[in-house]
Structure 1
Amino acid sequence: MTPAPSPVRRFTGWHMTAILVAFFAVAIAVNLLMATVAVRSFGGVVVENSYVASQKFNGWLAEARAQKRLGWRDAVTLDAARHVGLTLNDAKGTPLAGGKVTAVAQHPLGRAADLPLAFRETTPGIYASDRALPEGRWQIRFDLRRAGREEHLLREVD
């Protein structure tokens, strides 16, 4: 005995409708996911007003050149308690004592509030922060002032 032939399944309009609905549902879901991730991450603002920043750009370059001529060398550390340490030396390697150091710790993606940091000099040329940083990656903007000169640094710590 030969088996009975199986019935032929026809491709109908309902099949095509299901395929189209599934395709667009996947496309919309992916777009919503990507938009959500984009909105929750970096906001894209580097400067508040690009025109004003462009007018100050040459001044910033001059400040950077003057800062480079100082020849100050720095090393940023993070101790076990997550306090920030800053070692500051001149071009000859001599510790720069008697400076005033302040800083602001910023989360790179803006997910946490900025943390102001004050520093005290523990030994000549070595400065320690007054508070510990929470876990994670941080960018620290340092303002260093010593003997009428100043330097601005941006360093990253993990």
Structure 2
Amino acid sequence: MMNQKSPSIKKFTGYHATMIIVAFFAVVVSVNLVMAQFALSTFSGTVVDNSYVASQKYNQWLEQARNQQAHGWTVSPAVRKTGKASIVVTDIDSAALQGATLSAVAEHPVGRTDPFALDFVQTEAGDYVSVQPLPEGRWKLKIIITQDDKNMRVVRDIW
């Protein structure tokens, strides 16, 4: 008869259960801390600086929006052309808006860099291209379009 050793089977003890539970919660807490750090570093939580003042201006903002709609201007999504922002603006008849003045403030959507100004020049009929280059990445453009006594404010994202 051969002498065979039986394989050694380790018992599952309370120590093993405790270590599994501790490891599980260590992972959960670590992930929560990392995600909280990301959340706090990418969004300030501020939508408006002063909600009371914003509520007082609400009706004025609605009136401005109605006036802008009455112009009938259409502003295309902002696109990149050779490292610069490009926007097409048309009038109420879908014809190119000629001779308008465009300016914008470019803001990083999560505030990683300071906002900066962009000026636009008309290159083709209704096509306006920024004079200054726009750095790579996602930007929010707060655009002001002025022609004669009419003006329009729009916000466009550009990637």
Q: Is the 8 A contact 1:99 1:145 kept in 2?
A: yes
Deviation at 1:16, TM superposition (A): 4.2
Distance in 2 between the 1:32 and 1:49 partners?
A: 30
The CA deviation string for residues 84-132 of structure 1, in whole angstroms up to 9 with x for no partner, is 1222221113332222211011222223332210112334533221111
State the Cα RMSD in Å.
Answer: 2.3
Deviation larger for 61-70 or 102-111: 102-111
Q: Is the 8 A contact 1:119 1:127 kept in 2?
A: yes
Report the CA distance shift for 1:56/1:11 in structure 2 as closer, same or farther (over 3 A): same
Q: Which runs of 5+ in 2 are unaligned?
A: none
Distance in 2 between the 1:5 and 1:127 partners?
A: 83
Report the CA distance shift for 1:131/1:4 in structure 2 as closer, same or farther (over 3 A): same
Partner SS for 1:132: coil
Distance in 2 between the 1:111 and 1:24 partners?
A: 33
The CA deviation string for residues 14-67 of structure 1, in whole angstroms up to 9 with x for no partner, is 334423432332222121121122122222221111121112112111111110
Q: What's the TM-score once normalised by structure 1's chain length?
A: 0.83
Which residue is equivalent to 1:21?
22
Report the CA distance shift for 1:73/1:17 in structure 2 as closer, same or farther (over 3 A): closer
Are residue 77 (structure 1) and residue 79 (structure 2) matched?
yes
Which residue is equivalent to 2:54?
53
Which residue is equivalent to 2:146?
145
Distance in 2 between the 1:73 and 1:9 partners?
A: 74
Deviation at 1:149, TM superposition (A): 0.9
Q: Which runs of 5+ in 1 are unaligned?
A: none
Which residue is equivalent to 1:128?
129
Q: Is the 8 A contact 1:98 1:124 kept in 2?
A: no
Q: How does 1:20-39 map to 2 (within 5 A)?
A: 20-39=21-40
Using the aligned pairs only, state the percent identity.
39
Report the CA distance shift for 1:122/1:13 in structure 2 as closer, same or farther (over 3 A): closer
Count, aligned residues: 157
Distance in 2 between the 1:39 and 1:24 partners?
A: 22
Distance in 2 between the 1:111 and 1:140 partners?
A: 15
